Amino acid sequence: MQRSASRLPRILACAAVPVMLVVAGCSSDSGSSGDSGKKGTQDKTNASASATPTPSPTPTVEPAKFAKLPEVCKAISAKTTASLVPKAKTKKGTPAASSDLASRGGCSWNGLDDNGVDGSQYRWLDVSFYRYASDVSLGSGEERAQENLTKELAKVQETPGAKKLKTTTASGIGEEAKAVAYKLRKTDEDFVYASVVARTGNVLVLLSYNGAGYAGADAPSEKKIMDGAVKAAKEAVAAVAAANK
């Protein structure tokens, strides 16, 4: 009996060893699981940081070249208007109505030069300015002026009743310009027309010059009318740059 009693503690001690190993093993697994949890959290944090969107750059547009328009009725010299419209009703020109003179304006001259038995000569000259501001949603002032040059040119080319219409490039007038020559029958007379559509920077210049002979007088030549229109258009374009110095 004594031997059995002395052996009992040793048996119990040996029986306890596997239990300690299991506990140690679980404890080790538990530690590994904790590390994995920490690593997973770090991965999620890093992924979240890398997924943060980069702020988009603020949209920009090229600034408009010209900030204002010239005094329209003074954009063409008095000497030129007097030569193109000899008997103008209003020598200083008649300004067109405008609600925003900083963006658009116009002026016209017209008159009948009565030569008695030799008949009469009628002339009409008008000029309009359109200034386009730069806008992020609409584009730069220059781009907008280019777009509207195309539209305005199309309008002239589609003039109802126009005959012998011809479009040419007008050199030496702003960055780009087109000249349109045509004839039009009005009030039982043959009118000769010349229109110039020109762009300088962000400003569009529209100019029209026409004439007719009355009471038996001959109609003016196409060359004379076109030369007059080109001369006036060059002065109008130059006036834009002068107004912004």
**pLDDT (mean) for 20-31:** 39
Measure CA 39 to chain center.
Answer: 55
Neighbouring CB atoms inside 10 A of 115's CB total 13
Task: Retrieve residue 47's tokens.
Answer: 């992924």
| pLDDT at residue number 28 | 40
Closest-CA residue to 81 (of 238, 230, 228, 242): 228
Per-residue pLDDT band for 170 (boundaries 50, 70, 90) equals very high
| Start-to-end C-alpha separation, the chain | 125
Sheet holding 94-95, edge to edge: 94-95, 104-114, 120-131, 203-214, 189-200, 176-186, 163-169
> Mean of the per-residue pLDDT values for the chain?
85
Q: What is the pLDDT of residues 207-216, one digit of tens each?
A: 999 999 999 9
Q: Cβ(98)–Cβ(173) under 8 Å?
A: no
| pLDDT at residue number 5 | 46
Radius of gyration, CA atoms only, the chain: 43
| pLDDT at residue number 42 | 54
Least trusted range by pLDDT, from 69-73, 135-139, 177-181, 199-203: 135-139
51 pLDDT above the threshold of 90: no
Q: What is the pLDDT of residues 7-17, one digit of tens each?
A: 444 444 444 44
| pLDDT at residue number 69 | 98
Higher confidence at residue 150 or residue 19? 150
| pLDDT at residue number 17 | 43
Angle at alpha carbon of residue 119, lines to 117 and 122, rounded to 5°: 155
Question: Whats the size of the chain, residue-wise?
Answer: 245
DSSP string, 86-142: TTBSSTT-EEPP-S-TTTEEEEEEEEEEE-GGG-EEEEEEEEEEEE---BTTTB-HH
Higher confidence at residue 4 or residue 73? 73
| pLDDT at residue number 15 | 42
